[in-house]
Amino acid sequence: MVERGLDKLSVEISSACDLSAWISTTLYDVTINATTRNRVVAACFAVALDHFDAVLALLGRNPKIYSSAFALMRLVVESYIRGMWLMHCATDEQVENFSEGTFQLPRRIEVMIGAIEKTCDFDGQLSISHSSAWSHLCDYTHTGTLQVQRWNKPDAIEPNYSDDEVIEVILFTKTYALLTAVSFAEVVINNSELTNEFLAKAKEIGVKH
């Protein structure tokens, strides 16, 4: 008999995989105005979606590769935030220099988030997400206490992640994948119909934009 917790986890992974496939299919072979800004932003967004796919691939394995999936949460967020900052906040010169490797983005992600929220209508949601989750994301990425604790059992050194924690990772990265898809359609492709399609999907699963 399959435990209820495992059933729930299996459903969440399957649902996230379906979402990822739908986003990929919807964005496949779209045409963009290939300015330098659009190119670097599109690449950032594509990387965010790639990391989301990687999270699902790692958690879909048997056995699951938990630690790497948890570590990728921060990278999903960073790729999305960098793309948003380059689109909405960077000057043309900064974008050109970044594309050539001669400009470094702000080191502190909260600086980029603050600039994005001054420009875009996020109602403080990015700041709220950052303040509540960032320290944990960094801990998992940099092998901090949270990551190490989940590799310890009383009688062994092996993965000890709960199903609820894994589901949180799936829901968290799914949220940022949808935010990425919405922004991709809205600011890179500049397609209102596609934007509304992604917004409807975001609303359906409770993601605010």
63: cis peptide before it, omega within 30°?
yes
Q: From residue 83, how far is each of 6, 107, 127, 134, 170 by CA, in Å?
A: 35, 14, 16, 18, 21
Distance, in Å, from the CA atom of 7 to the CA atom of 3, rounded to the nearest integer, reads 6
State pLDDT tens for residues 136-195: 999 999 999 999 999 999 999 999 999 999 999 999 999 999 999 999 999 999 999 999
- Enter the pTM of the model: 0.92
Distance, in Å, from the CA atom of 24 to the CA atom of 147, rounded to the nearest integer, reads 30
- Asked if pLDDT for residue 78 goes beyond 90, the answer is yes
- Asked if pLDDT for residue 209 goes beyond 70, the answer is no
Strand stretches in the chain, DSSP E: none
Distance, in Å, from the CA atom of 43 to the CA atom of 96, rounded to the nearest integer, reads 14
Q: Distance between alpha carbon 175 and the CA centroid of its chain, in Å?
A: 7
- Asked if pLDDT for residue 21 goes beyond 70, the answer is yes
Phi, psi of 95 (to 5 degrees): -65, -45
Contact 176, 20 (CB under 8 A): no
State pLDDT tens for residues 32-51: 898 999 999 999 999 999 99
